[in-house]
Amino acid sequence: MKEIYLDNSATTRAYECVGDLVRKVMCEDYGNPSSVHKKGMEGERYIKEAKEILAKLWKVQEKEIFFTSGGTESDNLALIGAARANRRAGNHLITTAIEHPAIINTMRYLEEEGFRVTFLPVDRFGRVKLEALRKALCADTILVSIMYVNNEVGSVQPIQEAAGIVKAYNKNILFHVDAVQGFGKYRIYPKRLKVDMCSVSGHKIHGPKGVGALYIDGSVKIKPIVFGGEQQKNVRSGTENVPGIAGLGLAAKTIYKNLDEKVAGMRALKEHFIEGVSQIENTKIHGMYDETSAPHIISVGFAGIRSEVLLHALEEKGIYVSSGSACSSNHPQVSGVLKGIGASQEYLDATLRFSMSEFTTREEIDYTLEVLKELVPRLRRYTRR
């Protein structure tokens, strides 16, 4: 049976070169980077090289990059660490209603700590309403967090405009971006965007799981949320995951080679898929699907079929997709993103996410469309009985 993987927003297959490097670091250059002997210095060198790669890609300083266990920890550190460190300046935080659970649930936690959080509405395409952002800003606002690309519907947020609004109101308000889905698809320059903190994850860019990075502008006050041996300037203690960090660095370097060509390929496949799937009756493409949207994410509602049913029917044909954010898939619930964009009731539990990578082929998309055109009418007939 063919295996067609269209769940790349959940995780990606690692580059072969990344897998080889991770194994080498684990099994050969395995020294603790805090050790002062040669083996330790080998480990430290991998960390330095990864920082050099990210610093060059982001046009920031190496000392402004910190490694974490993934996008979730990067988001937690940015929000909790910055909110606590700047509490004397105010207790108001702003985010959007369609953020990843790593942001939404962290903001809920901060509400329990006494912070006031505003969740901004989005339009029907999943883009934050900038006028709502303007109105939400106040003297007590200390932090705004808006994602770069929405992980469910692929909407790209107007980060530069939003950050400009925030900084024009008060240049001391911190601006954080969860760029987990945007990194590796867009060239992101935090300082140019007026972004103070930026989170990314290794396994979304053909790197290892369990490793991420957080850019923190050198002027930002932040408190640690993990305590221990004071590694990484005491911002994130704990022995560094050297194999993961090395893999993250190499994955980042690799994914940005010929980036425009890779993105154009994914966008062409996205357009082809949307053209084909739109021929199926009672389907709905959520969010934007032109060039203002992410090149790799397609959210499709299939009225009359529960998403879980269609997901497993596709799985039986060797096609792997998602019913939404993989981070909340173990706890099925109505998507806050779909509700946020005002999706019709008939699509709230009838939507699948198809997400591609540079390895996705036209043949795979054609096969998926062929299977959908066979399965969807049949499952609808079965559901009506």
Could you give the CA distance from residue 217 to residue 215 in angstroms, rounded to a whole number?
Answer: 7
Q: What is the pLDDT of residue 289?
A: 82
Q: Are residues 227 and 358 in the same domain?
A: no
Final residue in a domain of this structure, among 212, 237, 255: 255
Q: Which two tokens mark 153?
A: 């519907």
Retrieve residue 329's tokens: 């898939």
| 74 and 217 assigned to the same domain | yes
Q: Are residues 61 and 201 in the same domain?
A: yes
CA 142 to chain CA mean position, Å:
23
Coil/strand/helix, residue 313 = helix
* Same domain membership, residue 246 and residue 213: yes
- In terms of domains, do 241 and 316 share one? no
Domains held by the chain: number: 2
Q: Are residues 238 and 270 in the same domain?
A: no
CATH number at residue 271: 3.90.1150.10
Q: What angle do CA 153, 186, 108 make, to 5 degrees?
A: 50
Closest CA to 280 of 136, 171, 380: 380
- 241 and 109 fall within a common domain: yes
Question: Is 27 labeled as catalytic in the residue annotation?
Answer: no
Q: 116 with 201, same domain?
A: yes
Query: 3-state SS of 151-214?
Result: CCCCEECCHHHHHHHHHHHCCCCEEEEECCCCECCECCCHHHHCCCEEEEEHHHCCCCCCCEEE
CATH code of residue 92: 3.40.640.10
Return d(Cα 227, Cα 79) in angstroms, integer.
17
Strand partners, 68: 212
Give φ, ψ of 120 to 5 degrees: -75, 145
Task: Give the range of the structural domain holding residue 371, as residue numbers without chain letter.
Answer: 4-12+259-384
Q: Does 231 share its domain with 286?
A: no
Which ranges of 220-292 does DSSP label H, i.e. alpha helix? 242-255, 259-277
State which of 255, 281, 305 marks the end of a domain. 255
Residue 161 and residue 36 share a domain: yes
Clarify whether residues 28 and 131 are in a common domain.
Answer: yes
* Catalytic choice (17, 27, 198, 327): 327
| Domain identity same for 131 and 279 | no
User: Closest Cα to residue 2, out of 287, 345, 367?
Assistant: 367
End-of-domain residue from the set 255, 276, 307: 255
- Residues of the chain under the 70 pLDDT cut: 324-333, 383-385
